[in-house]
């Protein structure tokens, strides 16, 4: 018997486990389907390329249902598994989104979630090695660092953005996000700083914190409309964990709605179709899926460009790099691949950016699932505030079966129009003089002036930037799954706390915002218990 059961040790779950167990009188149990993730493949930043492209021990590796907006293709949806969750396999870019994103959450009726309300939680979480001003924190668990070994194309790419009219911006998380520069990364001492490393590592010894790995939660347990814990499977055996105070679902934007629906909390008609008894008809569970659609363009480059690729020289330098990283935690194995970029507008009249660029020091082909042997560099362009809305539904009542993920990418015409504008800008950046010394031939070439060719390229190759959110959204309306204190409506002693509660996707990468949500969630839980 515990006070709190936390389901899922991802970005949010690790924060909650650490914060709630700060009180030695509170017994906390953190349950994670994956393993401990105690591996150099997780710790060495560049090793992410070995994990991200396919399902396995560290990666759920989901796929979407066929997407009409992507010419009927199935999208790929990697998700982290094991301690740290997706923060253990992500690209480590530290981006919070824009102040107005959070003001919009408050305007939707979520009091306590304006930028002024959430900034203290970003700061509380953070230990920024560079920026020390009113936007940033020192002494928090999440270490934010500069790139240790940026590639030689890095500076040229930022210069190319400036050539195309973007200002230099040394801090995307400061006064404005608009502009171009290197990204800061969630790393510490040349290693990945996942939520597990930041929040669990220093606190695993606490006698009131139990962390159980390789346990798959299959459903929530109830006494009437009160959640009393979870049923799970460990080593093929059924187990139960009971919570005296609350159960906190932190299984991510796919896992959280799936677990609620398996437990009879979800859209009544869908649950009945699946043969599941409806405990609470919550129409919003699994609705409102939002994700960042992304297109990659790439150019080959000479082997001495410092980019990753298959060549004799690089294979030898990789061997040296492994040795260097093991000895001093420096060198190219500290790269997250995604190194620099910027935020820009699809229309100069806009008040704030709606598009993002990320330069990668390798050729990215279908999430790295297909190998392009040559040295080269890529650029990702992402639509930050899509209007397209998708769903997560059950494929089966089997808790081990993947859910049906339908992001409905580019189903909104305006999304597609702005995405096109953004990709033209990306191609201009890539064709800039600043990159001329490095640029070889284009991979997947087409004539950008040919409208139809551009549209075909987007429909044929675009896919996620790995930021699904919103499937258990917070709000006061009938479709909201949780209230502004993240309590599941219609059920007692149950909260959802992770990326799924975002009512609208923030304009940036989603790890830091999820950690912020959990920091704030932990405070609300403690306040409500008093
Ligand atoms: C490849 C990739 C690259 C990314 N790059 C960046 C980036 O550079 N910067 C950034 O800010 N964001 C990035 N993100 C996004 C960011 O990492 C996520 O938004 C964030 O980690 C989500 O946190 P979460 O707590 O909602 O879910 P997760 O971190 O995914 O955690 C959910 C956890 O729940 C566990 N779980 C699920 N179901 C069950 C169950 N039934 N029983 C027990 N456990 C369960 C999972 O195994 C997982 O550990 C990236 C994501 C990916 C996948």
pLDDT of residue 422: 98
Query: Which parts of the chain have pLDDT scores under 70?
Result: none
For residue 11, how far is its CA from the centre of ligand 1 (angstroms)? 6
Question: Which atom of ligand 1 is least distant from the CA of 8?
Answer: 34
For residue 88, how far is its CA from the centre of ligand 1 (angstroms)? 8
- Does the C-beta of 80 come closer than 6 Å to ligand 1? yes
pLDDT of residue 310: 84
For residue 14, how far is its CA from the centre of ligand 1 (angstroms)? 11
- Does the C-beta of 498 come closer than 6 Å to ligand 1? yes
Residue of 5, 6, 7, 8 to test ligand 1 pocket, by largest number of atoms within 8 Å of CB: 8
- Does the C-beta of 187 come closer than 6 Å to ligand 1? no
pLDDT of residue 503: 98
> What distances in angstroms separate CA 184 from CA 147, 340, 359, 481, 519, one per listed residue?
7, 9, 13, 33, 21
CA angle 12, 410, 344 (to 5 degrees): 70
- Does the C-beta of 380 come closer than 6 Å to ligand 1? no
pLDDT of residue 7: 99
Angle, in degrees to the nearest 10, between helices 115-125 and 511-529: 100
Question: Which atom of ligand 1 is least distant from the CA of 48?
Answer: 1
Q: What residue's CA is closest to ligand 1, atom 30?
A: 86
- Does the C-beta of 16 come closer than 6 Å to ligand 1? no
Rg from Cα positions in the chain:
22
For residue 252, how far is its CA from the centre of ligand 1 (angstroms)? 6
Of the candidates 194, 171, 193, 192, the residue with the CA atom closest to the CA atom of residue 182: 171
Segment 151-175, tens digit of pLDDT: 999 999 999 999 999 999 999 999 9
Which residues sit opposite 377 in a β-bridge?
299
CB hemisphere CA count around 113 (13 angstroms): 28
pLDDT of residue 1: 85
- Which residues 6+ apart lie within 8 Å of 311 measured at CB? 303, 375
Determine how many CB atoms are found less than 10 A away from the CB of residue 401: 12
For residue 79, how far is its CA from the centre of ligand 1 (angstroms)? 5
- Does the C-beta of 90 come closer than 6 Å to ligand 1? yes
Segment 73-104, tens digit of pLDDT: 999 999 999 999 999 999 999 999 999 999 99
- CA dist., res. 327 & res. 272, Å (int): 58
Q: What residue's CA is closest to ligand 1, atom 50?
A: 90
- Does the C-beta of 501 come closer than 6 Å to ligand 1? no
Q: What residue's CA is closest to ligand 1, atom 37?
A: 251
Segment 453-491, tens digit of pLDDT: 999 999 999 999 999 999 999 999 999 999 999 999 999
pLDDT of residue 381: 98
Segment 489-513, tens digit of pLDDT: 999 999 999 999 999 999 999 999 9
- Residue positions annotated with a catalytic role: 467
């Amino acid at each position: 018997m515990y006070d709190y059961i936390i389901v899922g040790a991802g970005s949010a779950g690790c924060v909650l486990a650490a914060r709630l167990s700060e009180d030695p009188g509170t017994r906390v149990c953190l349950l994670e389907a994956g393993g401990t993730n105690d591996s150099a493949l997780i710790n060495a930043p560049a090793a992410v390329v070995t994990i991200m492209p396919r399902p396995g021990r560290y990666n759920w590796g989901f796929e979407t249902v066929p997407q009409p907006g992507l010419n009927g293709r199935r999208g790929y949806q990697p998700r982290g598994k094991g301690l740290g969750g997706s923060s253990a396999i992500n690209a480590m870019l530290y981006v919070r989104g824009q102040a107005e994103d959070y003001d919009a959450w408050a305007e939707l009726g979520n009091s306590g979630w304006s930028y002024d309300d959430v900034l203290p939680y970003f700061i509380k979480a953070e230990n920024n090695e560079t920026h020390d001003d009113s936007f940033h924190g020192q002494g928090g668990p999440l270490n934010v660092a500069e790139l240790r070994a940026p590639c030689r194309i890095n500076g040229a790419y930022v210069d190319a953005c400036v050539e195309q009219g973007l200002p230099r911006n040394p801090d995307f998380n400061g006064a404005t996000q608009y502009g171009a520069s290197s990204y800061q990364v969630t790393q510490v001492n040349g290693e990945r700083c996942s939520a597990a490393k930041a929040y669990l590592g220093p606190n695993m010894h606490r006698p009131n914190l139990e962390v159980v790995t390789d346990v798959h939660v299959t459903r929530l347990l109830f006494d009437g409309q009160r959640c009393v814990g979870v049923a799970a499977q460990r080593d093929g055996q059924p187990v139960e964990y009971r919570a005296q105070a609350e159960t906190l679902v932190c299984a991510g934007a796919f896992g959280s709605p799936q677990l609620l629906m398996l437990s009879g909390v979800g859209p009544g008609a869908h649950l009945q179709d699946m043969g599941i008894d409806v405990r609470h008809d919550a129409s919003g569970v699994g609705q409102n899926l939002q994700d960042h659609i992304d297109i990659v363009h790439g150019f080959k480059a000479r082997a001495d460009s410092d980019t990753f690729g298959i060549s004799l020289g690089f294979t030898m330098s990789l061997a040296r790099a492994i040795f260097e990283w093991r000895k001093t935690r420096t060198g190219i194995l500290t790269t997250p691949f995604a190194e620099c970029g910027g935020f820009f507008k699809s229309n100069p009249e806009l008040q704030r950016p709606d598009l993002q660029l990320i330069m990668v020091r390798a050729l990215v082909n279908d999430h790295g699932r297909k190998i392009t042997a040559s040295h080269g560099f890529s650029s990702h362009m992402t639509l930050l505030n899509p209007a397209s809305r998708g769903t997560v539904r059950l494929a089966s009542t089997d808790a081990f079966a993947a859910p049906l993920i339908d992001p409905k990418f580019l189903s909104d015409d305006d999304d597609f129009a702005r995405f096109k504008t953004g990709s033209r800008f990306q191609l201009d950046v890539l064709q800039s003089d600043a990159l001329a010394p490095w640029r070889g031939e284009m991979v997947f070439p087409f004539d950008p002036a040919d409208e139809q060719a551009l549209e075909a390229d987007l429909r044929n190759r675009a896919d996620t930037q790995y930021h699904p959110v919103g499937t258990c959204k917070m709000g006061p309306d009938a479709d909201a799954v949780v209230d502004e204190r993240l309590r599941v409506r219609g059920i007692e002693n149950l909260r959802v706390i992770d990326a799924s509660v975002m009512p609208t996707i923030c304009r940036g990468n989603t790890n830091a915002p999820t950690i912020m949500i959990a920091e704030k969630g932990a405070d609300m839980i403690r306040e409500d218990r008093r």
